[in-house]
Amino acid sequence: MSVVISVCADRLPFAALILKTTADMQRVLRFLLIIYQVCIALPILIVLTTLAALLSVLLSPWADTAVGALPARIWARLFCWILWVRVKVIGREHIQQGQSYVVAANHQSFFDIWAIYGWLPIKFKWVMKSTLRKIPLVGWACEKVGHIFLNRESSIAAKNSLQRAERTLRNGISVVIFPEGTRSSDGSLGSFKRGAFMLATDLRLPVLPVSLTGCYERMPRGTLHITPGVIQLRIHPPVDIQPYGHDDQRQLAEHVRQIIGQSVDNKSSLTHD
């Protein structure tokens, strides 16, 4: 409609006025949204994050139970609700309760973390960058509940982290890894590193591909600007590890990447170490 108005604007003065009024309204709404996010949502989210971290530490002896995971799950859901973001989950039927998985998900923005925390219906630990340990209170809470910090600058430290992940994968506990290693700069699917698939082939555990779409549109990398809307979390059928050996990690990584790429725009088909 706005295109038609724009074309006719030079001939119909009222059309130009409508277009200008629409643009002005959009700017006003955007300004009001920013005021809401900064003055109302942000203070509430800081308090919620503090409470969730403290509760997680207090419940850390039961971190592998549904009760222990509750503070983070509620925190993530409230985060999205307060920022007017709705998460739609597809594919819950592909999860077998009690089965441990290596969960591989694409990484578009910080909202990936909240969507997975709040809506992925399994017990899991994150494999996360070691720099996140430095976040006040949050890093301590993550360590107490058993999330795994990965130091990618040291091969020995990285190996130790993966060995810890191996010890975690038992009794239905899964690990969640972003195989791209970092957030996408434009929302497209990047190349996959092999760490997640090394775990899967070494432990003979199925890989659970998870596609996240809409996260980039909610909050692109490099900005704090948040746009309300919908995120889709799609759980794909698990990938049977039996056809893949230790020397087939690249093929496994590419296969999982293609599955995730069915739901996510991708521009590259490369995997790397």
Q: Does the pLDDT value for residue 53 go beyond 60? A: yes
Q: Does the pLDDT value for residue 48 go beyond 90? A: yes
- Region of 229 on the Ramachandran plot (φ > 0 left; ψ -120 to 50 alpha; else beta): left
Tell me what percent of the residues of the chain surpass a pLDDT of 70: 86
Contact (CB, 8 A) for 96 and 102: no
Q: How far apart are the first and last CA of the chain?
A: 49
Predicted confidence at residue 112, as pLDDT, reads: 96
Q: What are phi and psi of 49, to 5 degrees?
A: -65, -40
Identify the three-state secondary structure at position 20: helix
Does the predicted model carry a pTM greater than 0.75? Answer: yes
Rounded to an integer, the average pLDDT of 76-85 is 96
For residues 150 and 160, what is the distance between their CA atoms, to the nearest angstrom?
A: 9
Could you tell me where the beta strands, DSSP code E, fall in the chain? 85-90, 102-105, 124-129, 148-150, 174-177, 207-213, 229-235
Predicted confidence at residue 153, as pLDDT, reads: 63
Mean pLDDT of the chain: 85
Contact (CB, 8 A) for 89 and 119: yes
Q: Does the pLDDT value for residue 3 go beyond 50? A: no
Residues 192-247 have pLDDT tens digits of 988 889 888 888 899 999 999 999 999 998 888 899 999 999 999 999 999 998 88
Q: Does the pLDDT value for residue 159 go beyond 80? A: no
Top pLDDT among 122 and 26 is at 122
Identify the three-state secondary structure at position 210: strand
Q: How confident is the model at residue 8 (pLDDT cuts 50, 70, 90)?
A: very low
Rounded to an integer, the average pLDDT of 41-53 is 95
Top pLDDT among 10 and 58 is at 58
Across 54-58, 127-131, 253-257, least confident range? 127-131
Smallest CA-to-CA distance from 107 within 255, 191, 192, 212 is with 212
Non-local (6+) Cβ contacts of 101 within 8 A are: 95, 122, 174, 175, 205, 206, 207, 208, 238
For residues 92 and 167, what is the distance between their CA atoms, to the nearest angstrom?
A: 26
Domain annotation for the chain: domains and CATH numbers:
28-261 (3.40.1130.10)
Predicted confidence at residue 27, as pLDDT, reads: 82
Q: Token pair for residue 258?
A: 């293609």
- Of 29-38, 101-110, 145-154, 262-271, highest mean pLDDT: 101-110
Tokens 């900064």: give the residue: 38
Contact (CB, 8 A) for 210 and 235: yes
Q: Does the pLDDT value for residue 87 go beyond 90? A: yes
Residues 171-182 have pLDDT tens digits of 789 999 999 988
Predicted confidence at residue 7, as pLDDT, reads: 41
Q: Does the pLDDT value for residue 272 go beyond 50? A: no
Contact (CB, 8 A) for 175 and 68: no
Q: At what angle do helices 111-119 and 66-82 cross, to 10 degrees?
A: 130
Rounded to an integer, the average pLDDT of 95-117 is 94
CA distances from 96 to 38, 170, 173 (A): 41, 14, 12
